[in-house]
Amino acid sequence: MRSINVAHLPPRKKASAWNGNEPVFFLMNLGLKITFATLIINLMDDFLKKV
């Protein structure tokens, strides 16, 4: 869950530390969020089908 907290930090602070890797971390963050959302949607779908 730490990666989600990183996204809420000010960009200036992150830019100095991760100068070249910024897009990589952004894509990784996005991928994690999409995966998490897909998992929740699938779980909800299964739950609704059972009910």
Q: What is the pLDDT of residue 35?
A: 95
Across the range 5-33, mean pLDDT stands at 68
34 confidence band (pLDDT: 50, 70, 90): very high
Report residue 42 CA to chain centroid gap: 17
Q: What is the pTM of this model?
A: 0.46
Residue 27 reports pLDDT greater than 80: yes
